[in-house]
Amino acid sequence: MLATDRLKILNGLFLQKAFVVNLASISSYLQDEHDIPGYSERTFNRDIRELKELLKTRYPTLQDTFGELLRFSRATGNYLYIRDDISAFPTFSDRELQQIASSIEANKHLFSGGAGEGVVNKLRAIALENTLSQYHEVLPWSAIELVKDGARSGADVMPIILENIYAKRVVDFSHRGLSSQSKQKQTRGLPVLLKEYNNGWYTGWYVLFQPVSPDEVQIKVDLDQLQLYALDRIVQVNPVSDQPIVRIHPDFRPADYFKNCLGLFRSSSLTATKIRCRLSKDSWMLNYIEKYPIHTSQEINLSNDSWVEIQLNLEIDQEVINFFLRYAQEIRVLEPVELVQQVKMGLEKGQEVYS
**Do the bridges between strand 144-145 and strand 185-198 make them parallel or antiparallel, or are there none, so unpaired?**
parallel
pLDDT higher than threshold 80 for residue 140 = no
Question: For residue 115, what pLDDT band results from cuts at 50, 70 and 90?
Answer: low
- Going by C-alpha positions, the residue among 262, 308, 264 that lies closest to residue 286 is 308
Please indicate whether residue 244 or residue 58 has the higher confidence score (pLDDT): 244
For the stretch 6-61, pLDDT in tens is 898 898 888 887 788 999 999 999 998 888 888 899 999 999 999 999 998 888 87
pLDDT value of position 158: 86
HEC per residue, the chain: CCHHHHHHHHHHHHCCCCCCECHHHHHHHHHHHHCCCCCCHHHHHHHHHHHHHHHHHHCHHHHHHHCCCEEEECCCCEEEECCCCCCCCCCCCHHHHHHHHHHHHHCHHHCCCCHHHHHHHHHHHHHHHHHHHCCCCCCCCCCEECCCCCCCCCCCCHHHHHHHHHHCCCEEEEECCCCCCCCCEEEEEEEEEEEEEECCCCEEEEEEEEECCCCCCEEECCHHHCEEEEHHHEEEEEECCCCCEEECCCCCCHHHHHCCCCCCCCCCCCCEEEEEEEEECCCHHHHHHHHCCCCCCCEEEECCCCEEEEEEEEECCHHHHHHHHHCCCCEEEEECHHHHHHHHHHHHHHHHHHC
- With a pLDDT cut of 70, the percent of the chain lying above it is 81
Q: Output the CA angle 254-255-256, nearest 5 degrees.
A: 85
| Alpha-carbon distances of 276 from 138, 242, 258, 319, rounded to whole Å | 41, 50, 20, 17
pLDDT value of position 117: 61
- Residue 122, judged by CB atoms within 10 A of its CB (0-12, 13-18, 19+), counts as middle
- With a pLDDT cut of 90, the percent of the chain lying above it is 37
> At 51, which amino acid appears?
L
pLDDT value of position 182: 77
pLDDT higher than threshold 80 for residue 225 = yes
Q: How far apart are the first and last CA of the chain?
A: 78
Domain layout of the chain by residue ranges: 3-81, 136-257, 272-354
For the stretch 186-207, pLDDT in tens is 999 999 998 877 655 556 788 9
- Going by C-alpha positions, the residue among 319, 227, 316, 337 that lies closest to residue 272 is 316
pLDDT value of position 138: 63
pLDDT value of position 152: 56
Please indicate whether residue 214 or residue 107 has the higher confidence score (pLDDT): 214
Dmax over CA atoms of the chain, in Å, equals 84
Are the beta carbons of 333 and 310 closer than 8 angstroms? Answer: no
Full-model pTM: 0.56
pLDDT value of position 218: 93
What is the residue-averaged pLDDT of the chain? 84
CATH classification for the domain delimited by 272-354, as one of 1.10.3470, 3.30.1560, 1.10.260, 3.30.70: 3.30.70
